Amino acid sequence: MPTAPLLKARDLKVSYPVRGFRKRPIEIVHGVDFEIAAGETYGVVGESGSGKTTIGRAVLGLASVSGGTVEFDGRDISHLSPGERRAMAKDIQVVFQDPYSSLNPALTVGEIIAEPLVVQGSTPKDARRRTLELLDSVGLPSDAADRLPREFSGGQRQRVAIARALAPEPRLIVCDEPVSALDLSTQSKVLDLLLDIQRRTGVAYLFVSHDLAVVRHISHRVGVVYRGEIVEQGPASRVTLAPDHPYTQRLLLAAPVADPIAQEKRRADRIRLRDEQRLREARAGAA
């Protein structure tokens, strides 16, 4: 029997506020659907500016969900209070792209990794023991705990960021371009580490990247984002490039989006709502 998904996004819309006279938020993600099972990697791939990062930020509660839902373990997490969101940090963690800016330069590596453990109530002794275990699990020596981030290479820093993300034993990690800032050989080592961690812990990844090869290497399933929509999704093994397509990062998957009729209906609804809004504005302007 299939198990319920760990994460389920349904008709997810994400908007950013805009400064200015009208102050109407601008919608960046226009109603996407995807699911991630426990222990699975779902890759989100697409060209720059397509909305990949915004999808990850919505899952993390860092971008405002303006429509639809994000469910984690059956619970809608799209509109949590700051306190509820902090409590979710135990289950959903993040690894960002830039290993140089994502680690606090004033803290030792040990303090960085131990921070979430201390917040969760671990004693300093337990946090230290667990920190050394985590360093070992990401392939760093125990003396790394007493050094500062600036003493490490980009790849090593990303290992620290991964250890920090693993500290609360999350069930999902949002990986936002985690290897894009690294050279090729370091990229493959960090990807292999992520795969190994998944095998050992059963953690799921939402893996955001513009790089098809990277996404294919790590993902079980892939969604292709274009202009804020998932235009295609399917198993990673069936992803192929479409070289004749007008935009460079456009990818062609063998499997179409699961329910094209529902998607078409949502598109029609969006157009209708937009037209109704314009009509209201025109009437208000004329009054």
Ligand X SMILES: Nc1ncnc2c1ncn2[C@@H]1O[C@H](COP(=O)(O)OP(=O)(O)OP(=O)(O)O)[C@@H](O)[C@H]1O
Q: How many CB atoms lie within 10 A of CB 186?
A: 17
The residues that touch ligand X, with contacts defined as CB under 6 A, are 16, 28, 46, 48-54, 210
Residue whose structure tokens are 């500290």:
167
Nearer to ligand X, 54 or 93 (CB): 54
Q: How many CA atoms lie within 13 A of 206 on its CB side?
A: 28
Nearer to ligand X, 51 or 178 (CB): 51
Distance of CA 108 to the CA centre of its chain: 26
Q: How far is the CB of 287 from ligand X (least distance, A)?
A: 31
Q: How far is the CB of 274 from ligand X (least distance, A)?
A: 18
Nearer to ligand X, 50 or 78 (CB): 50
Q: How far is the CB of 131 from ligand X (least distance, A)?
A: 31
| Residues ≥6 apart with Cβ < 8 Å to 220 | 40, 41, 42, 235, 236
Nearer to ligand X, 129 or 227 (CB): 227
Cα Dmax for the chain: 72
Nearer to ligand X, 85 or 147 (CB): 85
Interior angle at CA 89, CA 83 and CA 95, nearest 5: 135
Token readout for 65 is 């969900």
Q: How far is the CB of 140 from ligand X (least distance, A)?
A: 28
Q: How far is the CB of 270 from ligand X (least distance, A)?
A: 17
